[in-house]
Structure 1
């Protein structure tokens, strides 16, 4: 029997198939695509340049031959292409669509106009810094694939495309396999063959794969056969490779585990990446061998060739490569981001486009390369003073000052925060120096006016960074805690090279230039303090600056001041003031043609201008979102602006409990952050945390838990296991564990929060109080109500809210205390606490907020316990009305009120009236799957069914037994409900 294609990697052309494909006439159209010309053909099929009329763009269209395999095999092929289509990253060739056409599978991909990385390496001699930068980009693409659960398994320079835009893209994912695939073990039993190139352009028109080096080979001892991809049906000497078993990949770049026919994972890609980078930097591969078995022996035995002694490549990069080339996968870097971080220490990847960076290297080849390699200043360099300027912001001396201050605070997390600060500011400072050098070196290629604008822009950015470092030099415990996140807010530098944006704003009159520059430096200092929420004296200084700005009469400066005043007002809880200032800044910016400032203020107004009655505030936020979208398109949709826009609306919608729309925006923000920063960056983790919390609030608990685990993993890896920035993610994960009945895991996370908070802040800090509340809630859920009561009362006492409630924390704590007292059957005290909670919730959040509904639900429980089900039903119906209006008819909060209404009707002897609300509640809770809440409503609905119709008794008993089983799984907090349900069944 002929074996059909199991996946993308299994599909190949047999000899006769290849001949048929070569002889076939080029089609005019495939599916919706208009075929333009053939780009190449190979083992997997044919690739055409085509036009997609739906997307209105050129694509590379891969047509996989109609194999003799099963329909299931073709289905798997399509599913794997769809998995690649879900991976969106600037350093990965995009898969746009997949489908079938006359028995063949087609895959539409990004058309890349450029050359392979190998061809780029061989076009001319490249500096080590240029090489590392492009490999870093490719590494980011691999990291994104790994984060999506995909493994490449055939990384090499031929499979990296360098577009004319200077961006590297990893291509040829023909061997890709989901990293958790259950087919991985098959690789050790049956041979696999590589599918051909993914994503093509003019640089690859000789075929689907240009893996043979030919004249480009740099290693005099190399063998072209070792450059060919292994697999059955491979022509030439490498065809013999399949005789020894499952060999997947290109021998020269394969990891030891691939030679040994073991499952390849992300660390195998890391090994291949390091082989390719080693070869590019040192001119020969790291393992010797002119024949397959010689190479296999060298790789599996770990016989590394040493780098050349006279190599200009920094030793730290060599050490990173040695680790990535370790024989044992466990000895390599934990993941690609960790490897890239090790390479970044000395290479300082450019944040400016590669094309610009290459100009810098060409113009300043000797001085810049020497400085990048050794960090030394060349006195003869006329642009070297930029490095002297940035040294005033960041140097070993300033780092030592920061270290002394951080250590003086005696905080357990200070070292971790300092390491993150040092790495972030060092990388930013290097990028700033490179931007300065590029601007200086091209001074005579631009007007004096533009040169001055660019230098002024860089000066303002440096002032902002300098102000942040100054703040950190006098940081308190909270600022040290937040330092890793604050460093991520350092200003981006690309705008200083954006000629159109710079020219959009008229420069100040010559006689005012110095004064305007001085005011903007003051703005930079205040912006750093506002960003760090250090607001003392900021209002006074802003008022003083307003007099200077109005005296100068330079309108762009006034718009910038209005923006700062709006930001300050928002952080000072002056919502009306924030809206007024930001609106004036926006209007001024529009009138001046300052589109970037108009975009930024519109984005800020999404957050600030959403406090109208009912849906009015949400509509205002959506309106500002649309305005920001138009301005962003006009500016070319800057990625960071698109991210901020989605994040702002997502957070606003979450606060207003509009979860479906919020999740759409937060998901978009998370994807944009991954593209901009990488999945393992703290900025991405912070945005992912917002997504996870919204998923949990919407009842999508499994998805929320997955995202939270990813967040916590990043924080632990990038910071430490006891850093206080972990408190938020741990609290969210604890809440999810408790909601799903995993009370042991919830208690572990609650105790960990308390340990971290007390070690970081001491016993009376607000962060410690939050952690104690987490612990109290978990005790309560475990059935230890007395311990929970003591914790809740202590929290209210410590926070000064034992009397009047003044904060959201106080309302939440009081609500929890009320419910705990109810469960302890101390109903008189419970009612007093609950009525105080209801009053405070309405005063702080407004009478129609869902937390008011929760307080009403609790009051209804107490009323029924005190023998007044009619009062309870009144409270539950009011709560239901609030929930349906605020969060919608299908929300988890609404289910609480529906259960209360049903229980009230049962208590009043109206089982038929209880059917509708309890049925609705069962539908809502059935989607969430939380066993305790599901079991509760199943048992209540069973009672209603049996009471409404005697003929339904048997089915009602089955439903009640199902509910009882769920309640018993839910843990001790549901023991009372379980006992009541069991008693009802026994009496039937």
Structure 2
């Protein structure tokens, strides 16, 4: 090669697509004239093309068509910064956090599943590491179907550009590369291996700080320290810097990064790659000791390299420390022992980080002493589920407060360390986080009481804490009307705010009477103090209290008051919360059309569009809207809504209690849509989460088991259903005694299943006991109608038709008072019609069964329910001799439906037998 031959960095940038157009022309001209470089490019090009082909990138396309002024998600694009093999990088502005960011957008022309996965892995890898020498990642998402990452914007250039531009002395180069090594060490400590370290993947900021970046090839290490197996056909990485084991497509670990680092440092110090064989003139002043250190790091055998980056850093830094010690000795001799001691102390006791210590703000809120107190309170009552409830409460609060500490630290550092955020915005976010800590304090205060209700509902109460991520919704924080500036008023409000937090904690623990009692006197006090946001919270608590008592109209009024107060305060989260509550309570007023509940839902959705991190509120809204659709029999829409709620819950707290609840909810429309097996799968997943999070004796597990039993009845697994329903009933009975809703609810389900098995005496006893409790304690609720239908159906199956009619008529009267909820009304009419048929009153039966059939057709019920009503109507029409041709037509449909369904052979054969014994009338 001639003296003007192309250096290794330029070769790498060529194959990464990082050269400017004029530089590419210059390189091409040189290759045309230089045999050695042409040969080198040919060999490296073959390898790079093979690698690129396996990564799905055959040709380097032009830059993505994003122009200044366009937006990527919420980020306004300001400039194009550069591009590489996987993506294009733009400078942008984040209006929420008021700071510059860099946006990496995956190339639209080359995006494939593995590319998107790799880019998201880059974001996930970086998000795990917080270190001054590692690039900070803020956000990741999609833009027009393509993945983007928002990260720290570093003013400056790459290490390669700095080396070419400044040609710094070797000591400066070594110092900067040691900084980069510290970044790699931090990455390795997080269990990540970079796999593509090179000078172009190290940023050198104008602030003098070095940052390792571009983790698109990073992989998580296994517990043994090795990477999980990579793609068999590709080692990826950049050929000039990649380790021998990575090039040979073997599993790699942190020592592979050590090799790549030593290649890059060798090139920076000596002006050449270690294997190229040029002289050392440019690095003649570098001590031989450094070359020996690099030689060990460049060993082809990973076992003979340094055991870690920290060990390599220590060796590279050794003479620098010795130099400083010699200087310290001279200074000590000149200035005396006192000065030397001070210098030593300062050297070994660095000033604390400006944003350290956020966890200290949780003293007395959630610390070891408080944990011990609450644990004792949980276990003192001797409840069967208390130990499991404590374990999950501790785990969930540990996770919540860890997120709180991380968010508090990041909020402070954004202003005090990185300068990316204004002081005013930091104050707003810190105030929001302080409010979250006060919520935790109120809840843990409640737990220390050992109150049975708070212990039973501890896990859902922790799950209902306001999200920490909501304190990053800076648009919502900025628009909120500030509280009064008068110090006396502010002091008064602090005391009131504590009382409101206590009432909120009671509501979260589902202690309805106590929550209402605590909130009621606060309405006038908070209004007089002038904080409308706090007033909104008080009205919201009252709305929850009325809702818990089934006082739907009063709950609606309270939620509207909460909405009005939140609007006056411009408190966006509280507005959304009140609207979500309105959806729920309006949907429970059966005389109201669904549109009345869906309108506030649409407004809540519009508000929450501006707060994408409020996952909990968004999930609650999707759940409540799905509940509206479910009650109207719109099961496909309900299923879609419940599925969206499930996805949000899984994104917020994977494997948490609320994920289990979302699975149970989604199973309900699945069962109604004749997808019983899938419904059962969802419910069993939910049960597994409940048992992990709540233990085997928790009342909430009993509710979940009842729902599983319902699904098992749908797919005719009656014995399994009986076992689950009985277990649910026994859990509730042990905890509450016989006079309780959950005991009766699971008892009614058990009765249905026992009736299906023909075990009528047992079924009748369970049904009578359940209905007696419902009529005594809950005389005007849908569940009482269901219990009536269960008992009436059992009487019908036993041939006791008069008793079946008597109970069904009581159910009919209650249905009318409740606004005729479609499912219970259609069930009631079908049972009543069948009983009149048994009493030899077919004309009365026809009228009732026609009404039941009409409701079922309009509400899209399960095929088996529709077939059952049609068969009864066919018999009634035949016996009444009013329309026998239609009777035959209905029976044929029933036969065909049962023939298409699994587990319905008995019903199919009965329909066939009926048709055989009732021949179609001769046509005239």
Q: Same fold (TM over 0.5)?
A: yes
Asked if 1:526 is matched to 2:500, the reply is no
Deviates more, 1:534-543 or 1:512-521: 534-543
Once the two structures are superposed, residues 139-190 of structure 1 have per-residue CA deviations (whole angstroms, 9 ceiling, x without a partner) of xxxxxxxxxxxxxxxx98679x9999x9999977999xxxxxxxxxxxxxxx
1:1-20 alignment to 2 at 5 Å?
18=50
Secondary structure of 1:651's counterpart equals: helix
8 Å CA contact retained: 1:831, 1:859: yes
Query: How far apart are residue 824 of structure 1 and its match?
Result: 1.9
- The aligned residue for residue 769 of structure 1 is 744
Query: How far apart are residue 931 of structure 1 and its match?
Result: 2.0
- The aligned residue for residue 699 of structure 2 is 724
Asked if 1:414 is matched to 2:386, the reply is yes
Alpha-carbon distance in 2 for matches of 1:168, 1:916: 72
- The aligned residue for residue 210 of structure 1 is 237
Alpha-carbon distance in 1 for matches of 2:594, 2:718: 36
8 Å CA contact retained: 1:477, 1:761: no
Q: Which runs of 5+ in 1 are unaligned?
A: 1-12, 31-35, 42-46, 65-77, 99-107, 139-154, 176-190, 197-207, 216-223, 229-236, 242-248, 255-288, 296-304, 312-363, 369-380, 953-988
Asked if 1:878 is matched to 2:851, the reply is yes
Once the two structures are superposed, residues 749-775 of structure 1 have per-residue CA deviations (whole angstroms, 9 ceiling, x without a partner) of 233324433444455544333333333
8 Å CA contact retained: 1:88, 1:675: no
1:108-257 alignment to 2 at 5 Å?
110-112=147-149, 123=180, 125=182, 194=232, 209-210=236-237, 214=241, 224-228=243-247, 237-238=248-249
Query: How far apart are residue 417 of structure 1 and its match?
Result: 0.5
- The aligned residue for residue 34 of structure 2 is none
The two structures, once aligned, show a CA RMSD in angstroms of 5.2
Query: How far apart are residue 840 of structure 1 and its match?
Result: 3.2
- The aligned residue for residue 812 of structure 1 is 786
Once the two structures are superposed, residues 255-307 of structure 1 have per-residue CA deviations (whole angstroms, 9 ceiling, x without a partner) of xxxxxxxxxxxxxxxxxxxxxxxxxxxxxxxxxx9769x99xxxxxxxxx999
8 Å CA contact retained: 1:90, 1:675: no
Deviates more, 1:910-919 or 1:815-824: 910-919
Alpha-carbon distance in 2 for matches of 1:530, 1:114: 40
> Cα–Cα, structure 1 residues 672 and 455, in superposed 2: closer, same or farther, change >3 Å?
closer
Alpha-carbon distance in 1 for matches of 2:149, 2:369: 46
Alpha-carbon distance in 1 for matches of 2:371, 2:777: 47
1:355-370 alignment to 2 at 5 Å?
none
> Cα–Cα, structure 1 residues 29 and 130, in superposed 2: closer, same or farther, change >3 Å?
closer
Alpha-carbon distance in 1 for matches of 2:301, 2:469: 48
8 Å CA contact retained: 1:603, 1:648: yes
- The aligned residue for residue 762 of structure 2 is 787
> Cα–Cα, structure 1 residues 459 and 804, in superposed 2: closer, same or farther, change >3 Å?
closer
1:253-332 alignment to 2 at 5 Å?
none
Query: How far apart are residue 412 of structure 1 and its match?
Result: 1.6
- The aligned residue for residue 689 of structure 1 is 664
Q: Normalized against structure 2, the TM-score is what?
A: 0.65
Secondary structure of 2:886's counterpart equals: helix
Structure 2 residue corresponding to 1:403, chosen from 375, 390, 415 = 375
Secondary structure of 2:363's counterpart equals: helix
Query: How far apart are residue 704 of structure 1 and its match?
Result: 0.8
Structure 2 residue corresponding to 1:856, chosen from 813, 829, 836 = 829
Alpha-carbon distance in 1 for matches of 2:921, 2:110: 64
Alpha-carbon distance in 1 for matches of 2:377, 2:603: 45
Query: How far apart are residue 634 of structure 1 and its match?
Result: 3.3
Structure 2 residue corresponding to 1:846, chosen from 810, 819, 824 = 819
Alpha-carbon distance in 2 for matches of 1:472, 1:306: 46
Asked if 1:940 is matched to 2:914, the reply is no
Alpha-carbon distance in 1 for matches of 2:623, 2:847: 39
Alpha-carbon distance in 1 for matches of 2:194, 2:682: 31
8 Å CA contact retained: 2:646, 2:662: yes
> Cα–Cα, structure 1 residues 600 and 921, in superposed 2: closer, same or farther, change >3 Å?
farther
Secondary structure of 1:110's counterpart equals: strand
Secondary structure of 1:563's counterpart equals: helix
Structure 2 residue corresponding to 1:832, chosen from 806, 809, 820 = 806
Alpha-carbon distance in 1 for matches of 2:734, 2:449: 21
Secondary structure of 1:795's counterpart equals: helix
8 Å CA contact retained: 1:899, 1:937: no
Query: How far apart are residue 950 of structure 1 and its match?
Result: 8.8
Structure 2 residue corresponding to 1:583, chosen from 560, 574, 579 = 560
> Cα–Cα, structure 1 residues 211 and 473, in superposed 2: closer, same or farther, change >3 Å?
farther
8 Å CA contact retained: 2:815, 2:821: no
8 Å CA contact retained: 2:673, 2:861: no
Q: Normalized against structure 1, the TM-score is what?
A: 0.61
8 Å CA contact retained: 2:632, 2:822: no
8 Å CA contact retained: 1:898, 1:921: yes
Asked if 1:652 is matched to 2:645, the reply is no
Query: How far apart are residue 501 of structure 1 and its match?
Result: 2.6
Paired residues in the alignment total 712
8 Å CA contact retained: 1:611, 1:617: no
- The aligned residue for residue 646 of structure 2 is 670
Query: How far apart are residue 420 of structure 1 and its match?
Result: 0.9
- The aligned residue for residue 624 of structure 1 is 600
Structure 1 residue corresponding to 2:618, chosen from 642, 647, 668 = 642
Alpha-carbon distance in 2 for matches of 1:459, 1:890: 50
Which structure has the larger Rg? 2
Query: How far apart are residue 50 of structure 1 and its match?
Result: 12
Alpha-carbon distance in 2 for matches of 1:96, 1:454: 26
1:896-907 alignment to 2 at 5 Å?
896-907=868-879
Query: How far apart are residue 424 of structure 1 and its match?
Result: 1.8
Query: How far apart are residue 672 of structure 1 and its match?
Result: 1.7
> Cα–Cα, structure 1 residues 891 and 536, in superposed 2: closer, same or farther, change >3 Å?
same
Alpha-carbon distance in 1 for matches of 2:393, 2:722: 32
Structure 1 residue corresponding to 2:492, chosen from 503, 515, 520 = 515
Asked if 1:570 is matched to 2:547, the reply is yes
Alpha-carbon distance in 2 for matches of 1:780, 1:848: 24
Alpha-carbon distance in 1 for matches of 2:623, 2:57: 53
Alpha-carbon distance in 2 for matches of 1:23, 1:538: 60
Secondary structure of 1:822's counterpart equals: helix
8 Å CA contact retained: 1:94, 1:109: no
- The aligned residue for residue 572 of structure 2 is 595
Alpha-carbon distance in 1 for matches of 2:895, 2:218: 45
Query: How far apart are residue 546 of structure 1 and its match?
Result: 2.2
- The aligned residue for residue 455 of structure 2 is 480
Secondary structure of 1:663's counterpart equals: helix
Structure 1 residue corresponding to 2:728, chosen from 740, 745, 753 = 753
8 Å CA contact retained: 2:373, 2:448: yes
Structure 1 residue corresponding to 2:107, chosen from 40, 60, 71 = 60
Secondary structure of 2:370's counterpart equals: helix
- The aligned residue for residue 867 of structure 1 is 840
